Structure formats: structure tokens, C-alpha cells
Chains A and B, each alone.
Chain A
Amino acid sequence: MNRTQNSGQTYFEDVAEGFSLPRLRKGPLTTVHLMRWSAAMENWHKIHYDQPFAVQHDKLPGLLVNGSLKQQFILQHLKDFAGLEGWAWKARFQFRAMDVVGTRLEVWARVKRKIALDEYGLLELDLGIENEDGRESTPGQALVALPYRGRGAVPYPFVAPSADPWARQAD
């Protein structure tokens, strides 16, 4: 699901609770991918490219796929789903398991709750990243604003609703 493929705008009315987004697939993620990401962000944490340091010094199972890279995949998935007229407002997730170099990852998301507001509709989603063995490493949630059909785009810059659905929830 990539905007280069000209996927159309999704409207709030188009999705129901329980709807699963098409998965975003990445990988296999090689040392070249990890090095390219380290260079792009100019952070040189050795556990992503220095095998002896990762395994012998930090006692890790191998070179780790950066959490900072995996979270990009989540935001890409939400951004593409929101489309040019929607907005990926919030996301939260935990890196609960390590993914080592060479793995393939799939970002998934499923609509948990629909919240109809005056200006736009909010979707609360469950999400995560599974590796090729089906193991979940990055469970989380998101709030995505979608426009109503025929009512114009979600405000940009985004105007948060007066009542934040997550405000009274513990993390």
C-alpha cells in the first residue's frame, strides 16, 4: 500500500470496526539497510552494524533491526492509510522483542473503534509488527483521523479534538 500506486482516499464511512488494513511488508532487512538507515539519521549505535560489539560486548543475539527504523514503517503505514485528506494523529507502541538482521517484517493494523466527531472521524487502531515467523515484536495503538465523504479534508495542521480518547487511559 503505497501512495505511488495512487491508492484512493479512504473515508470514515468506508471502514467498519474490525477492518484490517492491507499489510505493509518490508525486507529482508540486510546489514546494508541498517547501515543506510544509520547514515541517513547520523546515529552510529554499533549494535546495528558491528557484529562483535553487538554479540560480545552487549550480549545481543545479533545485529538488531533499529527500533527507530521499525517505527518509520508504522508511521508510513498509518500515513498511507490516512491519505492526502486524512491524518495519522497519534501512535504508541512498545519494542517487546528483538528483530535481527535478515528478517522480513509486516506491519499490520486493525480498526478497534470508530469515533464520529463533528469535523472528522477518528479511528482507534490496534497495530503491530510481525516477523516472518509470525512473532509479534511491536504491539501498539494509533489514532487516525479520516474525512467524511463530501465534507472536505481533515484540518491541516491537525486540530486535535477537545476530548482526547486516550487522555484518561493508562499507557
Chain B
Amino acid sequence: MAHLNDEIRGYIGLETELQLACDAVERGAVRRYAQAIMDIDPIYMRDETVAGTRYGVPVAPPLFPNAMLRLPFGEPDLVQERADDVDFDGAVGSSTLGLPPLPLVNSPMLNGGSEVELFRFANHGEQIWLKSRYLDIYERETSKGSMLMVVIETDFLDEHGRLVMRFRKTQLRR
């Protein structure tokens, strides 16, 4: 069971530097994403649909920026590094949105919920910056024992530093 201690409490308020997502909003990535969520909205792909609308250019699905913190080319690959670790759960960078992982060993992670504030869609070809923080970490007793509630907030910004989206998620750590 995961318990709150001083070491973990010390992560509250920890914030990343401004991080540039390694890829811009790519047309192919948008297509795969839209197909995977089964939202075949023509605003994601068709110039003729968005021409004359407020968007002007094809856009990405609302939560697309949330999955933009991917493994940059040539960076250490956890999937390979931990290939022999039977406890490696496969969760990688986008799980903590660039924040250092909590010092928890063999602690299953579940998604507890989210809160999102949207200002606009990300445009095809656009670069997105992220800034994440551990907003809160607290302990809660559940029917399955003690759990840590880890609240991560991320701002997704455009090249002018304007908010595209603010996303807050709560991870459950057992």
C-alpha cells in the first residue's frame, strides 16, 4: 500500500520547466488519434470543412495536446531499459507529464478522474509547450485500503504563451 510520507509530501508544488512537445501537431498523428477515439469529425482533417469557420485550418481533437509529451528521438527508452523488470507497468512519460515519478515501488496506478478547461483546439502544424506541477498529493482510505491521490496540473501553451488547455488529473496509487 502507498502511504504519504515526508519524502512524497516534498513533491507537492514541484513544477517542470516549460517543455516543448517533441513533435508539432502532425496530420497523421491527428488522423490516428481521431480514428482511435472514433470521432471522425471533418474539422480534424478537411480544409473545406473548416474554411470559413472560426478555426480556419484543420484542428486536433480537444484533448490531443494531453498526449503530446512523447519520447523524443534518441532519448532513453524506458520500454527497453526495463524490459527484464516484471514489475514495469509500461506507463511512460505522458503519465507524469514530464514530472519526476514519485518514489513508489511496485505501486499500481489508476486514473481517478480529470478536470479540463479548453480555450481552443490545437491547429495542425502548431507547436505546443507544457508546464506541469504536482498540485496536491494526499492519502485516502478506501475499501481496498490506503491510496495516494496524486493531482497533476498541466498548462498547454501556444508559441505566444497563451493557454490552449489546462488539464488536471488525479492518479490513484495503491
Partner of B91, one of A2, A40, A43: A43
Q: In the assembly, what is the distance between CA of A158 and CA of B112, in Å?
A: 27
Instruction: Report A's interface with B, CB cutoff 8 A.
Output: 2-4, 26, 33, 36-37, 39-47, 50, 53, 57-59, 64, 66-69, 71-73, 75-76, 79-80, 84-85, 87-95, 138, 140, 153, 156-158, 160, 171
Partner of B62, one of A26, A44, A75, A93: A75
CB neighbours of A44 from chain B (8 A): 79, 90-92
User: Interface centre among B39, B53, B61, B120, by most A CB within 10 Å?
Assistant: B39
B99-144 interface with A by 8 A CB criterion: 108-120
Contact A94 B113 (CB under 8 A): yes
Partner of B43, one of A3, A33, A138: A3
Partner of B112, one of A33, A58, A66, A95: A95
Q: In the assembly, what is the distance between CA of A66 and CA of B41, in Å?
A: 21
CB neighbours of B95 from chain A (8 A): 43, 45
- With A43-B92, A45-B89, A45-B90 in contact, do A75 and B63 touch (Cβ < 8 Å)? yes
Contact A41 B94 (CB under 8 A): yes
CB neighbours of B66 from chain A (8 A): 68
> Cβ of B12 < 8 Å from any Cβ of A?
no
Contact B54 A68 (CB under 8 A): no
Question: Who on chain A is nearest to B29 by CB?
Answer: A40
- With A72-B39, A90-B118, A95-B111 in contact, do A156 and B89 touch (Cβ < 8 Å)? no
Q: In the assembly, what is the distance between CA of A67 and CA of B169, in Å?
A: 11
Contact A3 B118 (CB under 8 A): no
A40-B35, A57-B89 are known; give 7 further A-B pairs, CB within 8 A: A4-B41, A33-B36, A43-B91, A57-B87, A72-B63, A157-B162, A160-B119
- With A84-B54, A156-B120, A158-B120 in contact, do A76 and B61 touch (Cβ < 8 Å)? yes
Smallest CB separation, A169 vs chain B (Å): 12
Smallest CB separation, A67 vs chain B (Å): 3
Instruction: Report B's interface with A, CB cutoff 8 A.
Output: 29, 32-33, 35-43, 53-55, 61-63, 66-67, 70-71, 79, 86-87, 89-92, 94-95, 108-120, 162, 170
Contact A36 B94 (CB under 8 A): no
CB neighbours of B29 from chain A (8 A): 40
Q: In the assembly, what is the distance between CA of A72 and CA of B66, in Å?
A: 11
Contact A88 B162 (CB under 8 A): no
Contact A158 B118 (CB under 8 A): yes
Contact A36 B113 (CB under 8 A): no
Contact B42 A158 (CB under 8 A): no
CB neighbours of B120 from chain A (8 A): 156-158
Smallest CB separation, A10 vs chain B (Å): 16
Contact B67 A42 (CB under 8 A): yes
CB neighbours of B67 from chain A (8 A): 40-43, 68
Question: Who on chain B is nearest to A26 by CB?
Answer: B38
Contact B37 A37 (CB under 8 A): yes
Contact B91 A73 (CB under 8 A): no
Contact B37 A89 (CB under 8 A): no
Contact A3 B162 (CB under 8 A): no
Contact B70 A42 (CB under 8 A): yes
